[in-house]
Structure 1
């Protein structure tokens, strides 16, 4: 399992738009999405991939990190693995 943080995503961006954007740049389809409003100026999403490794996401991260998408520069980070115990 791997988690991908995508920051500065417009709140009005649908799950399907995010999925299509990622797939366009070679990412697998995510299994879950969590939305974070923060202070409202830089909302973010956490994308959870059940059958993908963090290393696989790291290999793709540079394709979209700091990309200008939907009038915003997005910030992308692969999160450390969760301890499921």
Structure 2
């Protein structure tokens, strides 16, 4: 599983809007979304992609990192594998 953190993404942005934004840039559908409350201006979403290899995510990440969307500049950060 690969994960991508997008910030700042307001709570008012729907999951469908996020999926549409990513689809426009060639991303496959994400398999899970976790909203992360930010302190002030940095709310985020953590997206999981079960069928996407890390190398492919790196290529796709460059398409959206620092893109202006929803009145904000989106930062896309690839997360390392978490062990729980």
Considering the TM-score relative to the shorter chain, is it more than 0.5?
yes
Which category of TM-score, normalised to the shorter sequence, fits these structures? Answer: over 0.9
List alignment gaps of at least 5 residues for structure 1.
Answer: none
Partner of residue 43, structure 2: 43
After superposition, where does 1:2-81 map in structure 2 within 5 Å?
2-81=2-81
Aligned residues: 84
Q: What secondary structure sits across from 1:33 in the alignment?
A: strand
TM-score in terms of structure 1 length: 0.92
Q: Which runs of 4+ in 1 moved over 3 A?
A: none
- Report the Cα offset of residue 40 of structure 1: 3.3
TM-score in terms of structure 2 length: 0.93
List alignment gaps of at least 5 residues for structure 2.
Answer: none
Looking at structure 2, the residues matched to 41 and 83 of structure 1 have their Cα atoms a distance apart, in angstroms, of 28
The alignment yields a C-alpha RMSD, in angstroms, of 1.2
- Report the Cα offset of residue 63 of structure 1: 0.6
Q: What secondary structure sits across from 2:34 in the alignment?
A: strand
